[in-house]
Protein backbone atom coordinates (compact mmCIF):
# COMPACT_ATOMS: atom_id res chain seq x y z
CA UNK A 1 0.00 0.00 0.00
CA UNK A 2 1.36 3.40 -0.95
CA UNK A 3 0.98 6.47 1.24
CA UNK A 4 -1.60 7.80 -1.22
CA UNK A 5 -3.57 4.55 -0.97
CA UNK A 6 -3.28 4.66 2.82
CA UNK A 7 -4.66 8.18 2.92
CA UNK A 8 -7.58 7.15 0.72
CA UNK A 9 -8.25 3.99 2.76
CA UNK A 10 -8.29 5.86 6.06
CA UNK A 11 -10.54 8.54 4.58
CA UNK A 12 -12.96 5.91 3.27
CA UNK A 13 -12.98 4.15 6.66
CA UNK A 14 -13.71 7.41 8.46
CA UNK A 15 -16.57 8.20 6.07
CA UNK A 16 -17.98 4.66 6.32
CA UNK A 17 -17.49 3.75 9.98
CA UNK A 18 -16.10 6.73 11.84
CA UNK A 19 -18.92 9.23 11.21
CA UNK A 20 -16.39 12.09 10.88
CA UNK A 21 -12.82 13.00 11.73
CA UNK A 22 -12.16 14.08 15.29
CA UNK A 23 -11.08 17.70 15.56
CA UNK A 24 -7.48 18.52 14.75
CA UNK A 25 -6.56 19.21 18.37
CA UNK A 26 -8.27 16.01 19.53
CA UNK A 27 -6.26 14.07 16.96
CA UNK A 28 -3.09 15.82 18.15
CA UNK A 29 -3.84 14.63 21.68
CA UNK A 30 -4.61 11.11 20.41
CA UNK A 31 -1.33 11.08 18.44
CA UNK A 32 0.54 12.03 21.60
CA UNK A 33 -1.19 9.24 23.49
CA UNK A 34 -0.39 6.68 20.77
CA UNK A 35 3.27 7.76 20.61
CA UNK A 36 3.41 7.32 24.40
CA UNK A 37 2.09 3.77 24.08
CA UNK A 38 4.71 3.06 21.41
CA UNK A 39 7.40 4.56 23.62
CA UNK A 40 6.36 2.32 26.50
CA UNK A 41 6.79 -0.81 24.40
CA UNK A 42 10.10 0.39 22.97
CA UNK A 43 11.44 1.21 26.43
CA UNK A 44 10.47 -2.20 27.74
CA UNK A 45 11.54 -4.19 24.68
CA UNK A 46 14.77 -2.40 23.78
CA UNK A 47 15.47 -0.18 26.77
CA UNK A 48 16.19 -0.78 30.41
CA UNK A 49 12.63 -0.96 31.70
CA UNK A 50 11.01 -4.27 32.49
CA UNK A 51 7.51 -5.24 31.40
CA UNK A 52 4.61 -4.86 33.78
CA UNK A 53 1.85 -7.43 33.59
CA UNK A 54 -0.41 -4.81 31.98
CA UNK A 55 2.17 -4.29 29.17
CA UNK A 56 2.24 -7.90 28.02
CA UNK A 57 -0.71 -7.57 25.64
CA UNK A 58 0.80 -4.70 23.68
CA UNK A 59 1.96 -5.37 20.14
CA UNK A 60 4.79 -3.25 18.72
CA UNK A 61 3.55 -3.37 15.11
CA UNK A 62 0.02 -2.49 16.18
CA UNK A 63 1.25 0.47 18.23
CA UNK A 64 3.23 1.74 15.22
CA UNK A 65 0.14 1.33 13.04
CA UNK A 66 -1.92 3.31 15.58
CA UNK A 67 0.58 6.19 15.32
CA UNK A 68 0.48 6.01 11.52
CA UNK A 69 -3.34 5.90 11.49
CA UNK A 70 -3.70 9.10 13.52
CA UNK A 71 -0.96 10.83 11.52
CA UNK A 72 -2.80 9.93 8.31
CA UNK A 73 -6.05 11.26 9.79
CA UNK A 74 -4.32 14.53 10.60
CA UNK A 75 -2.84 14.75 7.10
CA UNK A 76 -6.23 14.09 5.51
CA UNK A 77 -8.07 16.67 7.53
CA UNK A 78 -5.42 19.35 7.00
CA UNK A 79 -4.92 18.70 3.29
CA UNK A 80 -1.37 17.34 3.50
CA UNK A 81 -0.31 14.92 0.77
CA UNK A 82 2.01 12.60 2.70
CA UNK A 83 3.69 11.27 -0.44
CA UNK A 84 4.73 14.76 -1.50
CA UNK A 85 5.62 15.73 2.06
CA UNK A 86 7.87 12.69 2.52
CA UNK A 87 9.53 13.16 -0.87
CA UNK A 88 10.20 16.82 -0.04
CA UNK A 89 11.51 15.86 3.40
CA UNK A 90 13.92 13.26 1.97
CA UNK A 91 15.16 15.83 -0.56
CA UNK A 92 15.67 18.40 2.23
CA UNK A 93 17.57 15.95 4.42
CA UNK A 94 19.73 14.81 1.49
CA UNK A 95 20.72 18.36 0.61
CA UNK A 96 21.30 19.38 4.21
CA UNK A 97 22.96 16.23 5.53
CA UNK A 98 24.64 14.58 2.52
CA UNK A 99 28.04 14.50 4.26
CA UNK A 100 27.11 15.29 7.86
CA UNK A 101 26.49 11.72 9.01
CA UNK A 102 29.27 10.23 6.89
CA UNK A 103 31.72 12.54 8.65
CA UNK A 104 30.37 11.92 12.16
CA UNK A 105 32.92 9.84 14.05
CA UNK A 106 30.23 8.91 16.58
CA UNK A 107 28.51 6.92 13.83
CA UNK A 108 31.53 4.84 12.86
CA UNK A 109 30.85 1.13 13.10
CA UNK A 110 32.29 -0.53 16.20
CA UNK A 111 35.73 -2.03 15.77
CA UNK A 112 35.97 -5.75 16.30
CA UNK A 113 38.80 -6.96 18.48
Angle between helices 60-78 and 82-97 in degrees, nearest 10: 100
pLDDT, residue 56, reads: 78
Instruction: Judge whether 27 lies within some domain.
Output: yes
Closest by CA position to 86, among listed 30, 1, 4, 14: 4
- Tell me the CATH number at 42: 1.10.287.1080
- The whole-model pTM stands at 0.87
Instruction: Judge whether 95 lies within some domain.
Output: no
Calculate mean pLDDT across residues 26-46.
96
Instruction: Judge whether 61 lies within some domain.
Output: yes
Instruction: Judge whether 41 lies within some domain.
Output: yes
Assess whether pLDDT exceeds 70 at residue 113. Answer: no
Instruction: Judge whether 94 lies within some domain.
Output: no
Q: What's the number of domains the chain is made of?
A: 1
Distance CA 5, CA 27 (A): 20
Structural domain harbouring 52? 3-80
Q: Assign 3 a pLDDT band (cuts: 50, 70, 90).
A: very high
Instruction: Judge whether 37 lies within some domain.
Output: yes
pLDDT tens for 42-89 read: 999 999 999 888 877 889 999 999 999 999 999 999 999 999 999 999
Instruction: Judge whether 65 lies within some domain.
Output: yes
pLDDT higher at 71 or 105: 71
Instruction: Judge whether 99 lies within some domain.
Output: no
State the average pLDDT for the chain.
Answer: 94
Q: Kindly state the DSSP code that residue 39 receives in the 8-state scheme.
A: H
Amino acid sequence: MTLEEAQKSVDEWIKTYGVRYFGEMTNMAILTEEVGELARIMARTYGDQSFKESDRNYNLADEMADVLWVLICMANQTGVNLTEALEDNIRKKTERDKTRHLENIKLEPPKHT
